[in-house]
A and B are shown apart, each in its own frame.
Chain A
């Protein structure tokens, strides 16, 4: 079983709408959690990175939350744009060696 589960698998929204992507993890011991955006055929680009003590971090229209007690994170996208169409990958690092565990990603499509 994957230690990082993302939902939904895919999502279609209209331009201008908000959406929230979910990430649940069982990775232990927890080091940090990152959200990446990956355009088709390109490398992932970091959006946010959060440690155990952080429960919210924003990057423009992207806001990530972390609940380390329930081992859940969410990525909220506000006022979506067509360029937000991409895969969003949740990555949780374990222990002291930065061993990264990847979620399968959520494929977001923003339609005009």
Chain B
């Protein structure tokens, strides 16, 4: 069974640009969550999608948005990039159940904003 796939693995963008990251969950998983990881802040929750609906949202500005498609693949978009958006962006997928469900992480997308 293929794992969680995130593309691209690495990305360099300029301040003010926008970026779209992609996450393909494990086959059969309907929940996809996104996280930002920086050395100073650790892992921070961005949002979670389940069956194409945003189920939870973290404390990030509106420049961060996401969506989920009918095949459970998810994208997150960051507009008007700032230097502080440089981070490792991780997505995790999990199965149908909402409790005690294993979350599987992708390898992440390393975004550098210059």
Contact = CB atoms under 8 A, between A and B. Distances in A.
B102 A46 contact: yes
Contacts of B94: 98
A42 B99 contact: no
A99 interface: yes
A41 B110 contact: yes
Contacts of B54: none
Interface string B78-106: 00000000001010101000111111111
Contacts of A99: 56
Interface residues of A, number: 23
Contacts of A72: none
Contacts of B104: 46
Interface of A: 31-32, 34, 36, 41-46, 49, 51, 89, 93, 96-100, 102-105
A43 B108 contact: yes
Contact of B101 (A43, A45, A98): A98
Contacts of A51: 100
A41 B88 contact: yes
A30 to B, nearest CB: 11
Contacts of B45: 100, 102
B61 interface: no
A36 B43 CA distance: 12
Contacts of A102: 42-45
Contacts of A32: 99-100
6 contacts: A31-B100, A41-B110, A49-B102, A51-B100, A89-B42, A97-B98
List of 7 A-B pairs having minimum Cβ-Cβ separation, nearest first: A43-B105, A102-B43, A104-B42, A43-B107, A44-B105, A32-B100, A43-B108
